[in-house]
Amino acid sequence: MKAINIITTILLCCILSSCSNAQNKSVQKTPMGKKVLIVYLSRTNNTKAIAEIIHHQVGGDLVAIEMQKPYPADYKTTVAQVANENESGFLPLLKTNIENIDQYDTVFVGFPTWGMALPPPIKSFLRKYNFKGKTIVPFNTNAGYGIGSTFDTVKSLCAGSKVLEGFSTKGGIEKEGVLLAIKDGVRKQAEMKVIAWLRKIGLNKKDNG
């Protein structure tokens, strides 16, 4: 009888120990254990290239932001239209719809710099959804003039969310006919910069499990 009790006690201890280990493993979450959404607006595919690099590093869902009425193909016409939209506060309607936005914990938002400001379609996207409690990560491409007011505008439109340090790099120069610049060797260099940035903000999948 005592032998049976001893065996029962040993088995019970093993079971409890196993459950304790399982619980310990379940609470050890890494940043990339969360749901990730990567959305981007890209006219010349440079921002798209950065979005693809981020997606390769962190995983998640990759979505292009499209409008119901796309901008004109002509560069100067688009510049004039965007300037009018920024001045009037007009927000273009989006074709892209994220039905399950609530499931995402971390949202990467990519865009070019237009007129040293955040593109109107990105303003539409950020106003359309509630990002309270989420982590927002901006990334940007530009013609060499920098981010302008873009990152500050993202912060103002994402009140209640945690906005991490953004990423920015030079892309194409459409007004000079230079479209997709982030390709071949330049893309490889950009990839190294993205990896360093993701490590800095603690969101590199390969480093976090």
Residue-wise pLDDT tens digits, 153-174: 999 999 999 999 999 999 999 9
The 3-state DSSP composition of the chain as helix, strand, coil percent (nearest 5) reads 45, 15, 35
Strand, helix or coil for residue 106: strand
Structure tokens at 82: 């965007």
Nearby residues of 118 by Cβ (< 8 Å), 6 or more positions away: 111, 149, 150, 153, 154
Task: Over range 29-49, report the average pLDDT.
Answer: 85
DSSP, res 174? G
Mean pLDDT of 102-131: 97
CA distance 152 to 132: 17
Q: Which carries the bigger pLDDT value, residue 104 or residue 26?
A: 104
Q: Got the DSSP string for 58-103?
A: H-SEEEE--BSSPPPSSHHHHHHHHHHHHHHT--PPBS---TTGGG
Mean pLDDT of the residues in the chain: 87
* pLDDT over 80 at 138, yes or no: yes
* 125 φ, ψ (degrees, to nearest 5): -65, -45
The whole-number pLDDT of residue 160 equals 94
* 6-32 pLDDT tens trace: 444 444 344 334 333 333 322 223 345
Q: What is the pLDDT of residue 179?
A: 95
Prediction pTM value = 0.84
Mean pLDDT of 181-197: 98
